[in-house]
Amino acid sequence: MRYITDGEEMRAIDRYTIDTLGYPSILLMERAALAFVGRLQETLSGGERIVCVCGTGNNGGDGVAIARILFSKGYASGFYLAGSEEKASPETKKELEMARNTGVPEYNTLDLRHARVVVDGIFGTGLCREVEGRYKEIVETINAWRAASEKARVWSVDIPSGLHAGLGRPLGVCVKADATVTFGLEKRGMVFYPGRSLAGKVFVEDIGFPKKAVDACLPGAHTFDMSDMKRLPVRKPDSNKGDHGRLLVIAGSKGMAGAGYFAAKAASRMGTGLVRMLTPEENRIVYQIAVPEALITPWTAETLTEDQVRQAIDWADGVVIGPGMGAGESGGRLVEWTLRYCRGPLVMDADALNILARKPEWLDKLPEQTILTPHVGEMARLTGKSVRELKGDPAGYARDLAVSRRLICVMKDAATVVASVEGELYINTTGNQGMASGGSGDVLAGVIGALVCQGSKPYEAARLGVYVHGLAGDVAREKTGAAGMSARELLDGIACVMKRMDTEEG
């Protein structure tokens, strides 16, 4: 597990390290500069002219130190100070003194005509206001220079200048970087879009923030890496199908069999012992052929009864409802009866969410820690917020819904957010644009459902499911490319991910 911070949290870690633990600020600045130079050097041939554009805060001090270290190593580097030196932080003033004593070239004007690399050290993670005036002109100059030459490269210090460290949106204007070297921990602003594309390739460098400082400030968001795959349910050698959960998938409608197929098949690929599908009679033969491992419980408009739904729910260890179900009268009855009899765990997806949006009073009937999996459009219908508002602060809105309704919110987007009942945030970093296709969300519902019915707690199942789903997408992209990927390849990707873990365990 890795923490992901916003600007306020990172400042708190920085201040705790300096003020409480007694680390000299200039020491952290020097370590940051050395780490940055180490990454940048991997791309340099030795003949490039490097211009470090520096603000007057500590981010600018990092930039001045970078210029000095590069110059001392024989590179053609110099720095340009944006802003008044009188307003510079004490650490930046000290870096200016050392750079001048060392003989590092200092430019009075920002002339990039003969530069090959620009190091952006104008603003750091603390920026929370619009970039205006002279600073706006400087950012626009850097971006125009970069756009004018294929060989021009921009490397940002800690975060692209002008990017909000928490929300990932430009504050008026923002430097477009080819790479960013960030310090200590990842920043939310470079995980959410458009920040992720503005930051380029991101390197996270350890510059010595003690674990004690991180634990004391405890960032509110995290992500997973491959070490977290050990959280998957353990499959013992002497187990049988009854040991691996029974999942009920309430899905499908006339002419809409695909979504239910993807949800049920994904659950099977994730190791569910038994999958049962409650679905219209029209889909029975389709599912018997496409998902032969599943039990099929068909219904018609005339035969669908409350008792049939109750019996199916009583059989299951977990329920997924919604994929391709339709939002008509039958769908409404299925949701109503499911909420009446299901005590959890429950995963609500797709049309179940659209029905819930039309019946907001049903939100009070959800079993505690129900998992909702809305994409941004469905989230807009559930909350009454616009898509633009939701994309402006996905973590905040997901957390608000989760805490206020005591549920798990999986807000699906390019960087999916999972929020817990307590307001804890998981931000996903796996997956790719090839997953933006029909059926992908149904696969995710099946993956999460598989995990809850095998015993994972709802929040654990949701965040682990999102992570595995993204890994499956990355495996699929390697085989087909992003444009040619479909949800069918995601199913194969899940099998590959699970096989990889099985091999490592063996």
Q: Name the one residue in this structure whose structure tokens are 């999916």.
A: 416
* Same domain assignment for residues 298 and 208: no
Residue 111 has pLDDT above 60, yes or no: yes
Tell me which of 192, 221, 250 is where a domain ends.
221
Task: Kindly report the length of the chain.
Answer: 506
> From CA 406, how far away is CA 416, in angstroms rounded?
19
Q: Which two tokens stand for residue 265?
A: 């098949």
Q: Are residues 182 and 325 in the same domain?
A: no
Q: How confident is the model at residue 25 (pLDDT cuts 50, 70, 90)?
A: very high
Cβ contact 60:88 at 8 Å: yes
**What are 320-344's pLDDT values in tens digits?**
999 999 999 999 999 999 999 999 8
CA dist 212 and 215 (Å) reads 5
Tell me how far apart the alpha carbons of residues 244 and 158 are, in angstroms, rounded to a whole number. Answer: 45
The least confident of 271-275, 287-291, 474-478, 499-503 is 499-503
Check whether 28 has a pLDDT greater than 60: yes
Residues 140-159: pLDDT tens digits? 999 999 999 999 999 999 99
* 273 shares its domain with 309: yes
* Residue 505 pLDDT level (bands cut at 50, 70, 90): low
Q: Which DSSP state fits 182?
A: E
Q: What is the rounded average pLDDT of the residues 65-89?
A: 97
Same domain, 353 and 443: yes
Overall average pLDDT of the 37-41 stretch: 98
Same domain, 256 and 400: yes
Q: Clarify whether residues 140 and 269 are in a common domain.
A: no
Give the pLDDT score at 236.
84
Question: pLDDT band at residue 47, thresholds of 50, 70 and 90?
Answer: confident
The CATH number linked to 499 is 3.40.1190.20
Per-residue model confidence as pLDDT tens digits over 364-410: 999 999 999 999 999 999 999 999 999 999 999 999 999 999 999 99
Residue 498 lies in a domain: yes
Instruction: Assess if residue 226 is contained within a domain.
Output: no
Task: Please name the residues in contact with 463: beta carbons below 8 A apart, sequence gap of 6 or more.
Answer: 224, 418, 426, 428
* Residue 413 shares a structural domain with residue 269: yes
Q: How many domains does the chain have?
A: 2
- Of 172, 187, 221, the position where a domain reaches its end is 221
Our CA dihedral for 459, 464, 470, 476, rounded to 10 degrees, sits at: -140
The pTM (predicted TM-score) of the whole model is 0.95
Q: What percent of the chain has pLDDT over 90?
A: 94
Contact 79, 47 (CB under 8 A): no
**Does the residue 325 lie in any domain?**
yes
Distance CA 312, CA 301 (A): 17
Cis peptide before 90 (omega within 30 of 0): no
308 and 443 housed in the same domain: yes
At 242 the pLDDT is: 87
Residue at which a domain ends, from 155, 189, 221? 221
Q: Which residue has the tokens 């038994």?
A: 274
Coil, helix or strand at residue 473: helix
Does the structure show a pLDDT above 70 at 503? Answer: no
Predicted pLDDT at 504:
57
**How many Cβ atoms sit within 10 Å of the Cβ of residue 133?**
7
Q: Tell me which residue range forms the domain holding 163.
A: 2-221
Mean of per-residue pLDDT scores for the chain: 96
* 162/289 same-domain check: no
Is 65 a domain residue?
Answer: yes
Clarify whether residues 264 and 386 are in a common domain. Answer: yes
- Per the domain annotation, does 164 fall within a domain? yes
